[in-house]
Copies of this chain bind each other. A is one copy, B any other.
Amino acid sequence: MSFSEEAVLTLDQALGQLSLEARELYLDHDVPILDQPLTPLSFYREYVSPNKPVLIRNGLQHWSAITKWTPDYLREKLGERVVTVAVTPNGYADAITDGKFVMPEERQMAMSEFLDIMDHPDQYNGVFYIQKQNSNFIDEFEDIIGDVEPDIPWGTEAFGLKPDAVNFWMGDTRAVTSMHKDHYENLYCVVRGWKKFILIPPTDSAFVPYDTYQAAKFTEKDGTFHVEAEKETGQIPWIAVNPLAPNSQKYPEFGKARMLEVFVKEGEILYLPSLWYHHVQQSHGCIAVNYWYDMQYDIKYNYYNFLQNVNNINKSMKKD
């Protein structure tokens, strides 16, 4: 089809039309909800191939973790185990604080100590979150590994491969995961409590402003948190807005991004497609396990990179 007789758009209009058409063509107004997992083929065809999130209820009732993983049980099974915990003064790990990209202090502590902190967060200095995303579940939680499945069988069959990483998450309700995206297909399973995700599709990426920030790290000394620059790491590109309080004066384009909110509750699985921006909050003591599967670097990724290039060209033309 030729478009030569149609009015030629500006790049801004083309980017706006991409975003609008995504909503009209295939993204629903809300994240769709299924009452049970689909067949691997239907899941792949209806959600993975179109890169569309979906919430799946009743997908974890056969996990003994759902009934077993009380604080008492975790203390009994894992009490002496040393786990890695991210500690920040404000709940923001790997996020922008005072104009820097600040990583958390990483502390090793016995699981029983972490559970004490969860019980009485106000008696401790800082916000504590088990959130290490290097397959920490397999490395640090092997005593309870049998309470969940090593993979999500219908996901593994759909993706045609085993997960690359399985991560365990537990922490304070003040702990927030700042908006970012991953190069993974993600099956995110909530075992206790709830997570609240704010999602933005990759087709809206022109409206998600990035900036570069000096890398830094929180360090507690004598009861006070300091931000120390990580000189060797240098500058880090990161999303410049907090979707809970966007600076619309500085980043007006973010107002065009379409945010989808979804609560993922106990026993539910969120399929979070590759390259979707996500920001995460949680109930206090929420426990989750997520499975990262390799994404396909195919035509969608190819088009996605094209979109990034066009977006940069558009921005640079405005500067000129």
Contacts and interface: CB of A to CB of B under 8 A. Distances in A.
Given A3-B312, A45-B159, A52-B299, 15 more contacts: A2-B237, A2-B238, A9-B312, A10-B313, A11-B313, A14-B306, A14-B309, A18-B302, A18-B303, A18-B309, A26-B302, A40-B41, A41-B44, A49-B296, A299-B300
Contacts of A125: none
A313 B45 contact: no
Interface in A6-65: 6, 8-11, 13-15, 17-18, 21-22, 25-26, 40-42, 44-45, 48-52
Nearest to A212: B2
A264 B283 CA distance: 58
Interface string A210-221: 111000000000
Interface of A: 1-6, 8-11, 13-15, 17-18, 21-22, 25-26, 40-42, 44-45, 48-52, 157-160, 203, 210-212, 237-238, 296-310, 312-313, 316
Nearest to A8: B316
A315 to B, nearest CB: 8
A300 B302 CA distance: 10
7 nearest CB pairs, A to B: A2-B237, A50-B298, A303-B303, A2-B210, A49-B49, A14-B309, A18-B306
Max chain B Cβ within 10 angstroms of own Cβ: one of A3, A158, A210, A310: A310
B212 A310 contact: no
A308 B157 CA distance: 35
B3 A308 contact: yes
Nearest to A160: B45
Number of copies of this chain that the complex holds? 2
Given A48-B49, A49-B296, A306 B309 contact: no
Nearest to A50: B298
A306 B17 contact: yes
A8 B317 CA distance: 10
Given A49-B48, A160-B45, A25 B313 contact: no
14 contacts: A1-B210, A1-B237, A8-B312, A9-B309, A17-B305, A17-B309, A21-B305, A22-B299, A22-B302, A26-B298, A26-B299, A50-B296, A50-B299, A299-B303
Contacts of A51: 298-299
Nearest to A6: B312
A238 B9 CA distance: 21
A41 to B, nearest CB: 4
Nearest to A238: B2
Contact of A41 (B2, B5, B41): B41
Contacts of A158: 41, 45
Contacts of A312: 3-4, 6, 8-9
A6 to B, nearest CB: 8
Given A10-B313, A302-B203, A25 B297 contact: yes
Given A48-B49, A309-B17, A313-B9, A4 B300 contact: no
Given A2-B237, A49-B296, A299-B300, A14 B157 contact: no
